[in-house]
Amino acid sequence: MMYNQSKSTIREQVIMRTFKPRAFSISDLYDWYNQTPSQLILNPKFQRRAVWTPQSKSYLINTILLGLPLPIFFLRQNTDPQSKKTIREVVDGQQRLRAIFDFVDNGFQLRKAQNEKYGGCYFSELPPDVQSDFLSYELSVNVLVDLDDKDVLDIFARLNSYGVKLNTQELINAKYFGYFKQTVYSLGFNFTKYWEVNKLFSNANIMRMKEVEFVSELLVVMLDGIQDIRGIDKYYAKYDEVFDERAELIHRFEETMDFIANLYDGNLSHTSYCSSPLFYSLFTAIYHLNYGVKDFLHPRRPLEKADYAKLRFALTEIEDTLNKKSDITEDEQKFIISCKKSTGHKINKVTRCNFVMRTINRCLDIK
């Protein structure tokens, strides 16, 4: 037993000595790849084949053009003492590197959905200084020196042991890269302070993209009425390449968010509307009154500042309903349940939004 433990410790020490963090420019890696014979192998036996879509490739390229960091790459490096030549195999990051090299070789155009300024350009059509910055961009690389397959696989088994299962929004994030995603993420990020101040989402929620998922739901209700949360991904697909309503939708979204914030002097964290199900219903009601929500058959008229007091009265009445202990009507009971159970399902969204809308219209005397 002591012998095995000692042997294991020695092996771990050897791996640590051959695990070296480095930074290489895209130009370095591209030069190695184009050597004859190549000094950078993109498809060793433990790599997946290239499966990236044009959208995902363009998204990666735009990340580099913006100077934002990429995940760490892993290379295995072996030097032949006889020929004095070094061969590098891409252990993790093959698809990213293939996309980068394809772009440098004018294999595809940058998409306008990712970059309005250079969308439609091949690499050779970028300004010379942008090309230079791109080739100088440094990739963080962990170099595995002279490790055999067994040790490489062991390292990745350990790295993958700490992974967290992706939630629905994170899976969508990995699948789509076009206009709808860019719009949702831009709005989600721009309103980060809004989510925090109003306690709609915690930092942990934001790290798991819950605010992005929520913005998706709000945009969908603006586009197509109240929908089940399980169908959100189809809107990412539908508006991936073309999203003509984008600018107007962003404007209306921001106006609606500002209107809600102004109702409570910029902070509704002390109200029940800091819960995402009830905020969704409030957003839907305010948006419907100003612009109209598809298939939401309630009378409407544009709101004014003069409506603030009556609106706050209506919203307080709704909160009082949530806190009622007795004399609860059937409609009130359904509303209370819809705020607590399966809140993303369409039937509960409709129940919740109808109750909020009816209460607001009654207090505003909209018939």
pLDDT score recorded for residue 49: 55
- Indicate the residue among 124, 141, 160 that finishes a domain: 160
pLDDT score recorded for residue 165: 79
- Indicate the residue among 115, 138, 160 that finishes a domain: 160
Q: Does the pLDDT of residue 17 top 60, yes or no?
A: no
Domain that holds residue 40: 10-160
| 52-63 per-position pLDDT tens digit | 888 899 999 999
pLDDT score recorded for residue 10: 46
Give yes or no: residues 130 and 172 share one domain. no
Q: Does the pLDDT of residue 320 top 90, yes or no?
A: yes
Q: Does the pLDDT of residue 286 top 90, yes or no?
A: yes
Give yes or no: residues 184 and 321 share one domain. yes
| 325-361 per-position pLDDT tens digit | 899 999 999 999 999 999 999 999 999 999 999 999 9
Contact 175/166 with Cβ under 8 angstroms? no
Give yes or no: residues 225 and 127 share one domain. no
End-to-end CA distance of the chain: 83
- Alpha-carbon gap, residue 138 to 59, rounded angstroms: 17
Give the 3-state secondary structure of residue 20: strand
Give yes or no: residues 175 and 137 share one domain. no
- Alpha-carbon gap, residue 25 to 142, rounded angstroms: 14
Q: Are strands 19-25 and 138-145 parallel, antiparallel or unpaired?
A: antiparallel
Q: Does the pLDDT of residue 323 top 60, yes or no?
A: yes
Give yes or no: residues 192 and 154 share one domain. no
Percentage of residues in the chain with pLDDT exceeding 90?
71
**Mean pLDDT over all residues of the chain?**
90
Residue at 2 is within a domain: no
- Alpha-carbon gap, residue 188 to 216, rounded angstroms: 9
Q: Does the pLDDT of residue 51 top 90, yes or no?
A: no
DSSP secondary structure letters along 85-129? EEEEEEEE-HHHHHHHHHHHTT-SPPPTTT-TTTTT--GGGS-HH
| 212-242 per-position pLDDT tens digit | 999 999 999 999 999 999 999 999 999 999 9
Give yes or no: residues 146 and 177 share one domain. no
Give yes or no: residues 283 and 322 share one domain. yes
Q: Does the pLDDT of residue 41 top 50, yes or no?
A: yes
How many domains does the chain contain in total? 2
Q: Does the pLDDT of residue 5 top 50, yes or no?
A: no
Give yes or no: residues 233 and 110 share one domain. no
Among candidates 182, 88, 187, which has minimal Cα distance to 139? 88
- Alpha-carbon gap, residue 31 to 23, rounded angstroms: 15
| 150-204 per-position pLDDT tens digit | 877 777 767 666 667 788 998 898 889 999 999 999 999 999 999 999 999 998 8
Q: Where are the beta strands (DSSP E) in the chain?
A: 19-25, 40-41, 73-80, 85-92, 138-145
Residue at 3 is within a domain: no
For the ranges 10-24, 133-147, 149-163, 226-240, the lowest mean pLDDT is seen at 10-24
Give the 3-state secondary structure of residue 108: coil
Percentage of residues in the chain with pLDDT exceeding 70?
91
For 122, other C-beta atoms within 10 Å of its C-beta total 15
pLDDT score recorded for residue 162: 67
Give yes or no: residues 179 and 148 share one domain. no
- Indicate the residue among 128, 160, 192 that finishes a domain: 160
Residue at 5 is within a domain: no
- Alpha-carbon gap, residue 284 to 306, rounded angstroms: 20
